[in-house]
Amino acid sequence: MAIRLGANPIGWSNDDLQEIGGETSLETCLSEAQEAGFEGMELGHKFPREAQALKAALKPYNMACVSGWYSAELLRRDVDAEMKALRPHLDLLKAMGSSVLVFAETSNAIHSDIKKPLSQRPRMAAAEWKPFGTRITEIAKRIADEGVRLVYHHHMGTIVESPEDIEAFMHATGDAAHLLLDTGHATWGGADPVKLARDYHARISHVHAKDVRAHIMAKAQSHDWSFLNAVLGEGDELGIYTVPGDGMVDYRAVFEALKPYSGWVIVEAEQDPKKAPSLPYAKKGVMHLQTVMKEAGLV
């Protein structure tokens, strides 16, 4: 598969804080995504969770179902229990022809708690990484046997946030477990997305492309904001995340480091549409990525 551009609905309606964009209908999200030039969508809380209904919702907009986030609890349960919990989500993605499954450990995560500053996020002891990685790898092997690749989402407020966490995760897991490179979470978490792309490109099978407003990141770090407070921003101020081309990430360098890459690149914005209207930002993100991917020789 060549590179295809998709979108995550958090540019229209947030999943962690559902009142953000709560008034935006699924139909508006899909029609604007189509107008912006996207070929596929990841799932969000407004999407049907039954295959036929989901296909009916996406078909008028010629949208593929790219993937969907799965909240794992492998720190609390074994592989068999996790597979049982995962089964409905995996079966839906298989029915939709999705090739990747977005997977993140959230049993002790704080990213959805607006009251908890990021300094309180969970951390893994050195001895915990290997058994955790073994369980992740087994899950990845099992779903690969069913034709879907596990892509692990490093994320602010979770056990895989910093560059050291990502390195520990990659060393603890086997080749069946792949990485979702999220440029926004990498940057805010202290990692260089270009270096991650260069170091792990052989195991990167999905990309989330969102940009970071440097001045908001500095404020969030100095004031120890929660994840959601940073996403929202103070008052009329815009939040920490925006679309590619509107922040500090060097996307041309990211894509040059990723070569060769084949798969989906998903534009995210994670903004309040009342402050940052979804469609103009989506169009800006698409235009920027198309430009830098051409400059990087990927399209």
For 189-233, write each residue's pLDDT tens digit. 999 999 999 999 999 999 999 999 999 999 999 999 999 999 999
Nearest in space to 212 (alpha carbons), one of 195, 190, 234: 190
Can you tell me the mean pLDDT for 260-268? Answer: 96
The band of 1, judged by pLDDT with boundaries at 50, 70 and 90, is low
pTM flag (> 0.95): yes
Sequence-distant (6+) residues with CB within 8 A of 151 are 67, 100, 101, 102, 103, 178, 179, 180, 205, 206
Length of the chain (residues):
299
Does CATH number 3.20.20.150 belong to domain 4-295? yes
Cα separation, 110 vs 176, whole angstroms: 27
Own/partner contacts of 130-134, CB < 8 Å, gap of 24 or more, are: 130/172, 132/74, 132/75, 132/105, 132/172, 133/169, 133/171, 133/172, 133/173, 133/174, 133/177, 134/172
* Residues 135, 77 contacting (CB under 8 angstroms): no
